[in-house]
Amino acid sequence: LKARVGIVGAGPAGLMLSHLLAQAGIESIVVEKRDYHTIRTTHRAGILEHGSVRMLTEGGVSNRVLTDGHRHDGIDLRFGGASHRIDFQDLVGESVWLYPQNEVFVDLAAARERDSGDVRWAVSDTEVLDLSSDTPKIRFTDAEGAVFEVHCDILVGADGSQGICRRAIPAGQRRENFIEYPFAWFGILTEAPPSAPELIYTNSGRGFALISQRSQTIQRMYFQADPDENPDDWSEEQIWDELQRRVDGPDGFELKRGPIFEKTLLKFRSYVCEPLRYGKMFLAGDAGHTVPPTGAKGLNLALADVQVLFEAVESLYATGKTNLLDGYSERALARVWRAQNFSYWMTSMLHTRADASPFERKRALGELAGVVASRHGSAYLAEAYTGWPATTSK
Ligand code: DHB
């Protein structure tokens, strides 16, 4: 098989890149080890920055985010038992959209199908070869057991944090930056009406909780938990009581309860691989970096990488010049590090380590109080949460 661009991974990053390339007349082949249904039903985050929404709508993928998603003009920061609204529209004139990543995936896969894109699902034994040659290759076995090799000009690793592409970079050619956190998120999906009009991020004496949403009838909530907690050990009542305790306050705020139909534990860390390139292979999205979930930057960052990478590949075929491709890693990483800082900041400000001293607990509350009392502090949060322009340079 031959393609100008070979893409490993048909998550949002790989599919969006393939879509943008197709629109520019550059053909690509995408290979993915999971089947469509598995990705479709894997629960991920639910918040899209305005720039991500624009990529989907103005990029010709789908307008469904505008009809089926919900615009959110702010969030609530809750601490000391009281809620403080961060008004994105007032502070920075932007919004985010509540639209689950599964739906982004459905829209992108449908757009590839509609435009006769070449996406191979459920492949196995994927290998990337000859990365520093002029013709990097993807070898894989398809769902029927036939072995193929994709010969391409450019190979893109969009295969997530557990993928093969990053690991194919020789150890001496990449720097790995990471930190781990001593907690995880216990996530649930429940059949209940929304408890509040907007998302609530809360720092309570018992740790963090996030009251998010999916629709008028399905809600998504998370609470900080021990990394080796087993969700099956928790009854519905225990989960609801724990969530409620974390939002309790003198205002009498009460969560609207319902049956819980999904429980998962999310472990998280901060990670950046540098550079996002080895020879003719370029990394995009979680394949190159991971953020903790607080602030929902993962998918948005992946799409921002793809925008930058697309422009670089398009420029290569339009001009024959590699300067944008050569600058991809640096340009993408400038945004990645901003988002790393934002996600780390939100995480550390809102979570409580089990061994935190009274000083550390109160310092975090002082930080939150400072953010909500300051228009400048709130505006930084609003700007970062709703998303920086894709073209952000250093
Ligand atoms: C969701 C997840 C997040 O990490 C976040 O910051 C906001 C929302 C979600 O899954 O709804």
pLDDT given at position 43:
87
Over residues 14-35, mean pLDDT = 98
293 lines ligand 1 (CB under 6 A): yes
Among this protein's residues, is 385 annotated catalytic?
yes
Average pLDDT, integer, range 187-213: 97
Q: Which atom of ligand 1 is nearest to the CA of 187?
A: 10
Residues 239-254 have pLDDT tens digits of: 999 999 999 999 999 9
pLDDT digits (tens, 9 = 90+) for 93-136: 999 999 999 999 999 999 999 999 999 999 999 999 999 999 99
Helix 358-373, helix 323-350: angle, nearest 10:
120
- For residue 298, the CA-to-ligand 1 centroid distance in Å is 10
Span from the CA of 384 to the centroid of ligand 1 (angstroms): 15
Tell me if 298 CB under 6 Å of ligand 1: no
User: Are 353 and 360 spatial neighbours (Cβ–Cβ below 8 Å)?
Assistant: yes
Nearest CA to ligand 1 atom 11: 46
pLDDT value of residue 231: 96
Q: Which tokens sit at 363?
A: 């310092």
Tell me the per-residue pLDDT of 41-52, one tens digit each, with 9 for 90 and over. Answer: 998 888 999 999
| Gap from CA of 294 to ligand 1 centroid (Å) | 7
Decide whether any atom of ligand 1 lies within 6 Å of the 45 Cβ.
yes
- Mean pLDDT, residues 291-310 taken together: 97
> What is the reported pLDDT for 2?
97
- Note if 278 is an active site residue: no
Identify the pLDDT of residue 323. Answer: 97
**CA distances, 135 to each of 109, 126, 154 (Å):** 27, 17, 8
Residue 293 annotated in active site? yes
Catalytic, 297? Answer yes
What's the average model confidence in pLDDT over 77-102?
97
Q: In angstroms, rounded to a whole number, what is the distance separating the alpha carbons of residues 98 and 76?
A: 15
ipTM above 0.90, yes or no: yes
**What average pLDDT score do residues 380-384 get?**
98
Supply the residue whose CA is at minimum distance from atom 2 of ligand 1.
45
Whether ligand 1 lies within 6 angstroms of the CB of 212 is answered as yes
pLDDT of 152 over the 70 cut:
yes
- On average, the pLDDT of the chain sits at 96
How much is the pLDDT for 394? 37
Query: 152: which 2 tokens?
Result: 């391409």
**What mean pLDDT comes out for the span 287-314?**
97
Give the distance (Å) from ligand 1 centre to CA of residue 46: 5
3-state class (DSSP) for residue 227:
coil
Residue 280's pLDDT is: 98
Q: What's the pLDDT score for residue 389? A: 75
Does residue 206 carry a pLDDT above 90?
yes
All structural domains of the chain, each given as residue ranges with its CATH number in brackets, are: 2-72+98-178+270-352 (3.50.50.60)
Q: For residue 353, give the nearest of 238, 206, 211, 142 by alpha carbon.
A: 206
Q: What is the pTM of this model?
A: 0.96
User: Kind and range of the H or E element at 142?
Assistant: none
Pocket test for ligand 1, best of 210, 211, 342, 349 (most atoms within 8 A of CB): 210
CA of 243 to the centre of ligand 1 (A): 15
Q: How far is the CA of 203 from the centre of ligand 1 (A)?
A: 15
In ligand 1, the atom with minimum distance to the C-alpha of 212 is 11
Q: Which percentage of the chain shows pLDDT scores above 90?
A: 96
CB 296 less than 6 A from any atom of ligand 1: yes
Choice among 50, 289, 297, 351 that is catalytic:
297
Please, which pLDDT band fits residue 392 given cuts at 50, 70 and 90? very low
CA distances from 89 to 33, 72, 75, 98, 377 (A): 41, 9, 11, 15, 15
pLDDT tens digits, one per residue of 51-78: 999 999 999 999 999 999 999 999 999 9
224, 199 contact by CB (below 8 A)? no
Please check the confidence at residue 393 and state whether its pLDDT lies above 70: no
The ligand 1 atom nearest the CA atom of 44:
10
Q: What is the pLDDT of residues 336-350, one digit of tens each?
A: 999 999 999 999 999
Which residue out of 199, 208, 267, 381 has the highest number of ligand 1 atoms within 8 Å of its CB and is therefore the one to mutate? 199
Is-contact 375 86, C-beta < 8 A?
no
Q: Which of 49, 77, 222 to mutate to test the pocket of ligand 1 (most atoms within 8 A of CB)?
A: 222
Per DSSP, helices labelled H in 41-92 are: 50-57, 64-68, 88-92
The pLDDT value given to residue 390: 64
Q: What is the pLDDT of residue 391?
A: 54
Cβ of 163 closer than 6 Å to ligand 1, yes or no, is: no
Q: How many CB atoms lie within 10 A of CB 273?
A: 26
267 is catalytic: no
Any ligand 1 atom below 6 A from CB of 292? no
